[in-house]
Amino acid sequence: MKIELDINKSAQQNANDYYNRYKKLMQKNAGIEKAVRDLEKKLEKIKSKQAAQAEKPAERKAIKQRNKDWFEKFHWFFTSSGMLAIGGRDSTQNEALNSKYFTDKDLFFHSDIFGASVVILKEGVNADVEAKQQAAQFAASYSSAWKEMLKTIDVYCVKREQVSKSTSKGSISKGSFLISGAREYFRDTELGLVLFIDNERVNAVPVSAFDTVREKKQIAKYAVLRQGKAIKSDAAKAIAKLFDYPNIDDIMQAMPAGTFQVSESP
């Protein structure tokens, strides 16, 4: 250690100089230590705040609870003429539609492909051609034709007495039906749906019915669904954002199985 002395000062004076330097250094060191402690306290506060924010659940828009109509558990829509059509979401609902909701006044629609929704057009025996075509497009859209990327599919309709669950050999499998007699066909029916929000619920209608519905209900925002490359969840999120609708599950339930192209308007 090198010590410098001022020869013009006495030993006591030199010692006092070094003592004063020592005190200044100690004061600086104490200031540095205090600054470090202050910084450590601020850092702890920041960490605690970040941890509290991480544990806080993300704010979500409240989903309003409302009384649902009985047909909302199915796929459903109203034709341009106001007739109700209901379709099964799966084989269990297809069975229920046939056994509980299909009457002599109704028509039974089904796509000519394995894996399709049964669609019942209520009071369908009195329906005009336009209503039947709309029900046919609805049935086509909720069939496996969508997932298989078929642009069109044949759809037929029959009356109550033509649909059975049994043969001479016994009952047939769940979700399957025995059709007898002449069928009324709707050849090369195009697939396509339009989604919109009305009365706080998600509506899905065939493209062929939407112009009339839009005029009646003054629909401003809607999404046209066609087959495409977007997976179902991504398409549903885009639609939910367009509608500012909080429940994506409702939107996904209204969509067929498959991939999508969504045309948003406006």
For the chain, 266 residues long, the average pLDDT of each consecutive 10-residue run is 66 68 69 73 74 56 71 97 97 95 98 96 97 98 98 98 77 82 98 95 96 91 96 96 94 97 82
Structure tokens at 146: 């969508």
Radius of gyration for the alpha carbons in the chain, expressed in angstroms and rounded: 36
Question: Cis (ω within 30 of 0) for the bond into 57?
Answer: no
Assess contact for 125 and 93: CB atoms under 8 A: no
Contact of 118 with 94, CB cutoff 8 Å:
yes
pLDDT reported for residue 73: 96
User: CB neighbours of 216 closer than 8 A, spacing ≥ 6?
Assistant: none
State percent of the chain over pLDDT 90: 67
pLDDT of residue 14: 64
| Tokens standing for residue 177 | 């039906």
Q: Which two tokens stand for residue 23?
A: 């005190």
Tell which residue, 230, 235, 238, 228, has the closest CA to residue 255.
235
Whole-number Cα distances in Å, 243 to 22, 113, 228, 246? 73, 33, 21, 9
Q: What is the pLDDT of residue 119?
A: 98
By the 8 A CB rule, do 138 and 206 touch? yes
Query: Looking at residue 38, what is its pLDDT?
Result: 76
pLDDT at 58: 47
pLDDT at 192: 97
Interstrand relation of 222-230 and 193-198 (parallel, antiparallel or unpaired): antiparallel
pLDDT at position 37 is 78
Rounded mean pLDDT of the chain?
87
What is the number of other CB atoms lying within 10 angstroms of the CB of residue 150?
15
pLDDT at 259: 98
Contact 88, 75 (CB under 8 A): yes
- Residues 124-152 have pLDDT tens digits of 999 999 999 999 999 999 999 999 999 99
Dist CA 266 CA 261 (whole Å): 16
pLDDT at 45: 75
